[in-house]
Amino acid sequence: MQDEAGADGGVRGLIEEGRVEEAAAALGRPHRVEGVVVHGAARGRELLGFPTANLDVVHGTAVPADGVYAGRLLLTDAPEGGGEQSWPAAVSVGTNPTFDGGHRTVEAYALDRDDLELYGRKMAVEFAHRIRGQRRFADVRELIDAMTADVARARELMA
């Protein structure tokens, strides 16, 4: 039987299981991953209507289990004294199985923003709530419907 602290008995185990709220309680803050925003397949912007920031996550970082999360997208390379900029976000972790993806990604949609130019910027994603696990959808329309519901749920959770 699994204990309360995750499969490996610690915070990393909670994160790997997608139990980000419990991990945050143990850490005293939301778990975050950091990286540089890189170009992806551009499906979010061009096909799905949800432009995402795809993070090239720092190697060795504990990335939550595949699924959809509510959290925050943070710009971490602001000029000295400029402070962090952040936006509530819907975050996807996984391999994009609807498109037969094989590479695991972390991508965040800043809620209700399609005007951000983030390529090459240092960013962080904070994970606040798990919405659902990763799924393969029958077609793009079914995926868009699920993403619309995920974004609405993320908006509620981050209000």
Give the span between the Cα atoms of 12 and 7, in whole angstroms.
Answer: 9
Q: Is the pLDDT of residue 111 over 90?
A: yes
Q: Is the pLDDT of residue 98 over 80?
A: yes
Helix, strand, coil percentages, rounded to 5, for the chain:
25, 30, 40
| Helical segments of the chain, H only | 11-16, 20-27, 43, 140-158
Q: How confident is the model at residue 25 (pLDDT cuts 50, 70, 90)?
A: very high
More confident residue, 116 or 81: 116
**Which pLDDT value is given to residue 13?**
95
Average the pLDDT over 42-55 and give the result.
84
- Token reading at 78: 């602001």
**Which pLDDT value is given to residue 41?**
77
- Asked if residue 157 lies in contact with residue 129, where contact means CB atoms within 8 angstroms, the answer is yes
99-102 long-range contacts (CB < 8 A, ≥24 apart) are 99/41, 99/43
For 118-151, what is each residue's pLDDT tens digit? 999 999 999 999 999 999 999 999 999 999 999 9
More confident residue, 66 or 77: 66
Percent of the chain with pLDDT over 70: 91
**Which pLDDT value is given to residue 84?**
67
Q: Is the pLDDT of residue 6 over 60?
A: no
